[in-house]
């Protein structure tokens, strides 16, 4: 399983990577900018993408819209992990699969990822 973690805060990227690795035993790739995330998403297929909303550059919403557009990850579950708790409905309406507010707990993150992976495997069958 491959997970892309997109967050401009290096400490948060590393924290989330540790949580993902321990909770779901996944290979993790990290992106520190929106542009880097889009480059990776164009050339790699992921099983789950964790995306911060409040990022410099084009921002997390633009990344979400582009992911849902014409990338190899158009149907990949995108879990927003953000400190902006007020944007949940907007993100879900834009195509996010789940919304977690920072600070996220490891078990909550793991359960959310497993839930969306299970849904994906049912959709493939």
pLDDT above 50: residue 12: yes
**Residue of 83 and 121 predicted with greater confidence:** 83
Whole-number average pLDDT of the chain: 93
Please give the Cα distance from 85 to 111 (Å, whole number). Answer: 19
Whole-number pLDDT of residue 11: 97
The share of the chain scoring above pLDDT 90, in percent, equals: 86
Nearest alpha carbon to residue 48 among 71, 22, 70, 27: 27
Phi and psi torsions of 10, nearest 5°: -60, -40
Nearest alpha carbon to residue 94 among 119, 49, 63: 63
The share of the chain scoring above pLDDT 70, in percent, equals: 95
pTM value is 0.94
Question: Could you count the other beta carbons within 10 Å of the beta carbon of residue 3?
Answer: 24
Phi and psi torsions of 53, nearest 5°: -85, -45
101 secondary structure, DSSP code: E
Domains of the chain: 2-124 (3.40.50.2300)
Q: Is 125 helix (H, G, I), strand (E, B) or coil?
A: coil
| Whether 50 contacts 115, CB under 8 Å | no
pLDDT above 50: residue 125: no
| Whether 55 contacts 46, CB under 8 Å | no
Token readout for 9 is: 């805060």
Mean pLDDT of 44-65: 96
> What pLDDT digit, counting tens, does each position of 56-109 carry?
999 999 999 999 997 789 999 999 999 988 999 999 999 999 999 999 999 999
């Amino acid at each position: 399983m491959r997970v892309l973690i997109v967050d401009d805060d290096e400490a948060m990227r590393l924290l989330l990577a540790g949580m993902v690795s321990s909770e779901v035993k996944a290979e993790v790739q990290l992106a520190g900018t929106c542009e880097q995330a889009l480059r990776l998403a164009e050339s790699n297929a992921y099983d789950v993408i964790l995306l911060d909303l409040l990022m410099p550059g084009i921002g997390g919403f633009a990344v979400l819209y582009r992911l849902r557009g014409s990338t190899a990850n158009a149907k990949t579950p995108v879990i927003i992990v953000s400190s902006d708790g007020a944007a949940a409905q907007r993100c879900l309406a834009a195509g996010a699969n789940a919304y977690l507010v920072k600070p996220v707990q490891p078990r909550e993150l793991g359960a959310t990822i497993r839930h969306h992976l299970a849904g994906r495997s049912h959709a493939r069958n």
